[in-house]
Amino acid sequence: MKTAAFLGLGAMGGPMAAALARRAADTGGRVLVWNRHADRAQAHAAEHGTQAASLPDVGEAEVIFTCLPTSADVNEVMEQLEPHLRPGAVWVDCTSGHPDAARAQRARLLERGVKFLDAPVSGGVSGAKTGTLTVMLGGPADEVEAVRGALAFAGRAVHVGDTGAGFAVKAVNNALLAVNLWAAGEGLAALARSGVELGAALDVINASSGRSNATEHLIPDRVLTRAFPPTFGLGLLAKDTGIALDVVDNVRGSAPVLAQVAALCRAAAQMIGPDEDHSAMLKLIEQMNGQEIR
Amino acid sequence: MKTAAFLGLGAMGGPMAAALARRAADTGGRVLVWNRHADRAQAHAAEHGTQAASLPDVGEAEVIFTCLPTSADVNEVMEQLEPHLRPGAVWVDCTSGHPDAARAQRARLLERGVKFLDAPVSGGVSGAKTGTLTVMLGGPADEVEAVRGALAFAGRAVHVGDTGAGFAVKAVNNALLAVNLWAAGEGLAALARSGVELGAALDVINASSGRSNATEHLIPDRVLTRAFPPTFGLGLLAKDTGIALDVVDNVRGSAPVLAQVAALCRAAAQMIGPDEDHSAMLKLIEQMNGQEIR
Amino acid sequence: MKTAAFLGLGAMGGPMAAALARRAADTGGRVLVWNRHADRAQAHAAEHGTQAASLPDVGEAEVIFTCLPTSADVNEVMEQLEPHLRPGAVWVDCTSGHPDAARAQRARLLERGVKFLDAPVSGGVSGAKTGTLTVMLGGPADEVEAVRGALAFAGRAVHVGDTGAGFAVKAVNNALLAVNLWAAGEGLAALARSGVELGAALDVINASSGRSNATEHLIPDRVLTRAFPPTFGLGLLAKDTGIALDVVDNVRGSAPVLAQVAALCRAAAQMIGPDEDHSAMLKLIEQMNGQEIR
Amino acid sequence: MKTAAFLGLGAMGGPMAAALARRAADTGGRVLVWNRHADRAQAHAAEHGTQAASLPDVGEAEVIFTCLPTSADVNEVMEQLEPHLRPGAVWVDCTSGHPDAARAQRARLLERGVKFLDAPVSGGVSGAKTGTLTVMLGGPADEVEAVRGALAFAGRAVHVGDTGAGFAVKAVNNALLAVNLWAAGEGLAALARSGVELGAALDVINASSGRSNATEHLIPDRVLTRAFPPTFGLGLLAKDTGIALDVVDNVRGSAPVLAQVAALCRAAAQMIGPDEDHSAMLKLIEQMNGQEIR
């Protein structure tokens, strides 16, 4: 690869593009960057040796990465960028997007001879900075293999299925995060109100069968501390649980628990605020129970 | 301690009593054992150097451990054993019991000068065999400290609150197990039906924010393999989720997700069978979705 | 019957006792009344020709009616009244009580030769005033038949089963009220936000298969008008849905929807206020959806 | 109107087309009928004086009615019929369709100068036969008024909002039907298992605040009798509850109870069978509780 482009320099995208740039420095390539607010692209270029580019110029890249809030944002950028794309290029979308959108986007780009892979990531900002993200790839196996080497921000990259499968797995992962977190909040609120010391309770739960990423990390780090640091927004989690329900719906499946939590998650985003950290959805549980989780 | 007694030599209780016996061999004590089916007690004595005893004789012990299916079973044994108990003894109940029962049992035994601590355990049969269980202790701090040294089967013992708090934390832990397991089943059924390879999906989920003990261990080991080894029964899990709801109810709390999963868990115990392994509750999800989770 | 007594002169009890008094005037009997706040009993006597009485004096009655907020209140009164009761008397409890309490209360009174029937009512304040309430009777058939003539406040009295069955049916009725009301609120909030005129929507729903007492009466009368007149409190509805769950639990049943709505109902009582009218639980739905139901 | 056409002569459509034919006989018009299986159209013509027509010939009509299982079926017919439609005609879709489909269908037909109204009906087969259905109309007010006179099968026709509003209201109505029916099933299963006589229980519930169309009609007529007559299929109810969730989703609403029941409804369709009567979804509750509702 000679030229890569990265669109969307947010909390995740910024360090991901920087990882690409470090790799490119070793291999003689270059990384174009674009952001809705152009000053952020210029700052990125100055700090990480990337090149701020206009949307048309981004079309020169052989591999185009996007990391935007939603598939709707990707569609908007794609519409503008489409006339400038080079046949043979690959579009790798690291957004937590929608499987239906992935299928439509792939079909649209294939008409121009451009490939599309869905490639959402997990591992958080820290994983992005250390280049150890997990990537969930959806698309034809040969195309996945061909792009694997370009994923400089990845600690591991797993091919999970056909186009849309990456987004589907990511949505289900985030729905499980929401369920595990919400249920732990319900249980801990009742324990706190019963006079149980929550630190001790989490200690034993985390040594037992009820443990999850929520009880091991999110609740001790973000809720008990009352910090709720805004890294991953409640509104985006609500969006992702909605995508998971669409995955269920597309196969005429039945998922009563995911469905309930998706609805509660959306209520929390409405009542607590979409820009609050996702862990702040436990504030709704606190209101429902008249009991702080601390 | 000179004499301990262990009542209930099931899959957990058997190795727990054996751990007590190994300790007693070092310290010059002895361990009486009792089981509803007496032949099991005799076999335990023969294998582990404990002494099979009748219920009245068990009353000689300074520390009495119980590990039975439910608090109702403990009540039954307590009724028979009560006249034979020695003032100053301590009853340590390792059953996954009910906090209301713990309070009643403690009050009842205190009238005879006998102490009661709720002390449910986690860590499974393997933890019982290696003496590395986690014990959740409920009761007065000084009584908890006094008994701590006698818990030979424990890797760690955490004092989580007053009488009943141990059972409450254990019930909430098991309710979270049920929620995390059920929700993962719903998500994986939809992914499987969408054509996603579940091994790959679990790979990335377990490197991501949606991971739990269910996705890391139970589902790969018991469900994807179709083994469903019957270690912890579905009927007991349904009982424990019901206890968790009582914990919520006792404080007039609101826990819609725990409540929903408790109901589904009970339906699964009814439809799949109470003696099936708890992981087999995902077979109900499979029926609901017309899709195997494999 | 010569002497009846009525304990609990609230919004329901007051007119029920008045109906008894009208009947007694025709048949030469008398009606003793008692209330926690004695001035209310005196006012009732002055207005309706009943006789305000102390708790001991109430013991003279052949039929004792109670209509109190909860079974716990009935227990409290029963404890004080017990020594003064006449063998052969019948205690008819019109409280929306708990089936377990009914069984315990009956056993307790039978020791004194006093019978107990659970007899909760429906029909609201207007039904109480016109003497057209529906009574749900639980107890032995012969005792139910013997007391039937004394129910002057009843338009109809139905024997639904053994002791506790009256309370069980009433609790399930109120749980269905809660579910039907809550679900209608969810649907109407979404329609309102979609731009549908809710009066028109209710018009067609009430001519269709989705209609219920909630869509026919409660929502048009109390919610769309924004009146929320405080007749039946949200806290009491939350209590009743909790009793319904206990009915389910006592038979090891599975009721995921009743369980979910009971939890949401309790959350609404916590967040909106237990003394608000039960229809005000839709204010929580409004907050969850950022949309007024009007 | 001179010529009307009716497409879809199912259990509802057949008698609806017959009602049109009776009106046409009085006013000198004619009614063309079409059905996927042509023999059904010929039988209808023979019995009701309509005229069986091919799809192209149906294009001559000034008003075209469709009453098909789903919006997908309407789309299929529309694709074939489109080239043959007359500008100025009105397409009135009585299917229980999808609001999104309505908007797309209207846009598509407007390009040919043909209007589209969504006009789902309620009242069942008996209402269709007596010409007393309730129609829920979505579209511009003037177009709704213009078509009102042509709805010979309607007892009443209510304009509920813009294009798609008719389908939205119908979907919410059916979701409420599903919730009210399911919740009543849960409650009655628990009462039956508690020894309560269900006929007596329904008697009092139907005189009380928990009553609904489900407790007044569906359960006594279809469930307690064990008849489950297949009039409205469980698969179609599952589809309609799914549409209701899409209505909620389109406005980013939160409806946890509708969402849970939609999932359970789909599970019932999968496990009991999509062609069973919708009341047969209570058979899943029976399995979950190990208790017949009778």
> Which pLDDT tens digit goes with each residue over D249-269?
999 999 999 999 999 999 999
Q: Residue D1: which pLDDT band, with cuts at 50, 70 and 90?
A: low
Contact B258 A208 (CB under 8 A): no
The set of chains that have 3 or more CB pairs under 8 A with B is A, C, D
Fold adopted by C3-163: Rossmann fold (3.40.50)
Contact B210 A169 (CB under 8 A): no
Q: In 3D, which of B213, B63, B211, B209 has the Cα closest to residue B134?
A: B213
CA–CA separation, B212 vs A210, rounded Å?
A: 8
| Residue B71, min C-alpha distance to chain C (Å) | 16
Maximum Cα–Cα distance for chain D, whole Å? 65
Choose, out of A205, A221, A236, A261, the residue to mutate when testing the contact with B (most B CBs < 10 Å): A205
Question: Can you say whether the dihedral through the CA atoms of A271, A272, A276, A278 is positive or negative?
Answer: negative
Q: Residue D2: which pLDDT band, with cuts at 50, 70 and 90?
A: confident
Is some CB atom of chain A closer than 8 A to the CB atom of C190?
A: no
Per-residue pLDDT, C17: 98
> Which pLDDT tens digit goes with each residue over B211-231?
999 999 999 999 999 999 999
Helix B256-272 / helix B165-193 crossing angle, nearest 10 deg: 70
Choose, out of D177, D191, D236, the residue to mutate when testing the contact with C (most C CBs < 10 Å): D191
Q: Residue C256: which pLDDT band, with cuts at 50, 70 and 90?
A: very high
Average pLDDT over residues D170-193: 98
Amino acid letter at D46?
A: A
> How, if at all, do strands C90-93 and C115-118 pair?
parallel
Average pLDDT over residues C18-44: 96
DSSP string, A149-179: TT-TTEEEEEEEESTTHHHHHHHHHHHHHHH
Q: Residue A263: which pLDDT band, with cuts at 50, 70 and 90?
A: very high
| Residue C211, min C-alpha distance to chain D (Å) | 6
> Which pLDDT tens digit goes with each residue over A210-240?
999 999 999 999 999 999 999 999 999 999 9
Residue D202 has pLDDT above 60, yes or no: yes
Closest residue in chain A to residue C264, using alpha carbons only: A288
Residue C179 has pLDDT above 80, yes or no: yes
Contact B256 C259 (CB under 8 A): yes
Domain locations in chain B? 3-162, 168-289
Contact C180 D124 (CB under 8 A): no
Closest residue in chain C to residue D278, using alpha carbons only: C209
Residue A194 has pLDDT above 70, yes or no: yes
Per-residue pLDDT, C2: 85
> Which pLDDT tens digit goes with each residue over A270-284?
999 999 999 999 999
CA–CA separation, C213 vs D216, rounded Å?
A: 11
Per-residue pLDDT, B1: 52
Average pLDDT over residues D94-118: 98
Choose, out of A137, A158, A257, the residue to mutate when testing the contact with B (most B CBs < 10 Å): A257
- A-chain CB neighbours of B179 within 8 Å are 179-180, 183, 257
Residues of chain B with pLDDT under 70: 1
> How, if at all, do strands B30-34 and C90-93 pair?
unpaired
Residues 237-256 of C with CB under 8 A from A: 256
Structurally, at CATH architecture level, domain D168-289 sits in: Orthogonal Bundle (1.10)
Distances (CA, A) of B144 to A17, B90, B97, B168: 55, 10, 18, 16
Residues 53-82 of C with CB under 8 A from D: none
Percent of chain C surpassing pLDDT 90: 98
**Which of A256, A267, A288 has its CB closest to that of C270?**
A288
Name the residue with tokens 């210029």: A42
- C-chain CB neighbours of B259 within 8 Å are 245, 256, 259-260, 262-263
**Which of C266, C270, C288 has its CB closest to that of A271?**
C288
The tokens of A169 are what? 């797995």
Is some CB atom of chain A closer than 8 A to the CB atom of D87?
A: no
Choose, out of C240, C247, C248, C249, the residue to mutate when testing the contact with B (most B CBs < 10 Å): C249
Which of C2, C115, C129, C170 is catalytic? The answer is C170
> Which pLDDT tens digit goes with each residue over C274-291?
999 999 999 999 999 999
- B-chain CB neighbours of A250 within 8 Å are 194
- B-chain CB neighbours of D266 within 8 Å are 288
**Which of C254, C267, C270 has its CB closest to that of B266?**
C254
Residue A170 has pLDDT above 70, yes or no: yes
The alpha carbon of C289 is separated from its chain's Cα centroid by a whole number of angstroms, namely: 31
CATH 3.40.50.720 fits D3-162, yes or no: yes
- D-chain CB neighbours of A255 within 8 Å are 263
Q: In 3D, which of A53, A58, A50 has the Cα closest to residue A17?
A: A50
ipTM, interface predicted TM-score of the complex = 0.96
Is some CB atom of chain D closer than 8 A to the CB atom of C265?
A: no
Q: Which residues of C152-177 are buried (b: 16+ CB within 10 A; e: fewer)?
A: bbbeebbbbbbbbbbbbbbbbbbbbb
- D-chain CB neighbours of C198 within 8 Å are none
3-state secondary structure chain B: CCEEEEECCCCCHHHHHHHHHHHHHHHCCEEEEECCCHHHHHHHHHHHCCEECCHHHHCCCCEEEECCCCHHHHHHHHHHHHHHCCCCCEEEECCCCCHHHHHHHHHHHHCCCCEEEECCEECHHHHHHHCCEEEEEECCHHHHHHHHCCCCCEEEEEEEECCCHHHHHHHHHHHHHHHHHHHHHHHHHHHHHCCCCHHHHHHHHCCCCCCEHHHHHHHHHHHCCCCCCCCCEHHHHHHHHHHHHHHHHHCCCCCHHHHHHHHHHHHHHHHHCCCCEHHHHHHHHHHHHCCCCC
CA–CA separation, C17 vs C152, rounded Å?
A: 9
Is some CB atom of chain D closer than 8 A to the CB atom of C110?
A: no
Per-residue pLDDT, A1: 52
CA–CA separation, B102 vs B116, rounded Å?
A: 8
Same fold, A3-162 and A168-289: no
- A-chain CB neighbours of C185 within 8 Å are none
Amino acid letter at A4?
A: A
Closest residue in chain D to residue A248, using alpha carbons only: D263
Is some CB atom of chain A closer than 8 A to the CB atom of D98?
A: no
Per-residue pLDDT, B2: 85
Contact A271 C287 (CB under 8 A): yes
Distances (CA, A) of B115 to B4, B94, B163, B261: 14, 14, 11, 35
- A-chain CB neighbours of B255 within 8 Å are 186-187, 189-190
| Residue D25, min C-alpha distance to chain C (Å) | 29
Per-residue pLDDT, C1: 52
**Which of B260, B270, B287 has its CB closest to that of D271?**
B287
The set of chains that have 3 or more CB pairs under 8 A with C is A, B, D
